[in-house]
Copies of this chain bind each other. A is one copy, B any other.
């Protein structure tokens, strides 16, 4: 197996993270999701929760944190600062060895590497709404509204930093509808592709 890095981009509620974890387990690869967030938090000095919320949803509108955290020495916005920290960490993780990286524009950041398999996972609104209610419970906001908001933020974030279209098939080697095939099957297809190359 030559392939070393699998990046998984995903619509909110599509099960992309779970698929990534299963692929990593099946292949014995490192799995960077929470751990990536922790590293970015450490590198940037920001709180883990803040990174988790903002790292894929920037550019953030608020500039409040500027003065508070005092990270604007280079004239960078907080979003750009987090982006730089994420980028640095993703590039260094990719050097370390076989891994699965979830989200955070890793497909774009690692585009110059030949050893990446870039995956996008999506599912229809209904299936994803069902999934987020099951996983995260109900909130005041209707599930579809929550999905639309998160997707929009990821889309804006991706376009802002990559100048590419989030979810456009041409940016990925394989895109799968997890609502159609199911989590297990998607993980199986990806692991097999990684094994065979």
Q: Does A133 contact B (CB under 8 A)?
A: no
Q: Does A122 contact B (CB under 8 A)?
A: yes
Cross-chain contact A173 with B181 (CB below 8 angstroms): yes
Residues of B within 8 A of A177 (CB): 172-174
A29–chain B nearest beta-carbon distance, Å: 19
Q: Does A176 contact B (CB under 8 A)?
A: yes
A141-174 contacts to B (CB < 8 Å): 165, 167-170, 172-174
Cross-chain contact B175 with A172 (CB below 8 angstroms): yes
Cross-chain contact A169 with B175 (CB below 8 angstroms): yes
Instruction: Tell me the bound Cα distance from A172 to B193 in angstroms.
Output: 19
**Given A11-B170, A173-B176, A174-B176, 18 other A-B residues pairs in contact with their CB atoms under 8 A:** A120-B169, A120-B175, A122-B169, A165-B168, A167-B169, A167-B170, A168-B168, A168-B169, A169-B169, A169-B172, A169-B175, A172-B177, A174-B175, A174-B177, A174-B181, A181-B193, A185-B196, A189-B189
Q: Does A180 contact B (CB under 8 A)?
A: yes
Residues of B within 8 A of A170 (CB): 11, 122, 167
A115–chain B nearest beta-carbon distance, Å: 12
Cross-chain contact A173 with B169 (CB below 8 angstroms): no
Chain B: which residue is nearest A178 at the CB level? B173
Encode contact with B along A77-119: 1 for CB under 8 Å, 0 otherwise. 0000000000000000000000000000000000000000000
Question: Taking each of A120, A168, A193, which has the highest tally of chain B beta carbons within 10 Å of its own beta carbon?
Answer: A168
Instruction: Tell me the bound Cα distance from A169 to B193 in angstroms.
Output: 19
Chain B: which residue is nearest A177 at the CB level? B173
Chain B: which residue is nearest A192 at the CB level? B189
Instruction: Tell me the bound Cα distance from A181 to B193 in angstroms.
Output: 8
Residues of B within 8 A of A168 (CB): 165, 167-169
Residues of B within 8 A of A120 (CB): 169, 175
Encode contact with B along A175-197: 1 for CB under 8 Å, 0 otherwise. 11100110001000100010010
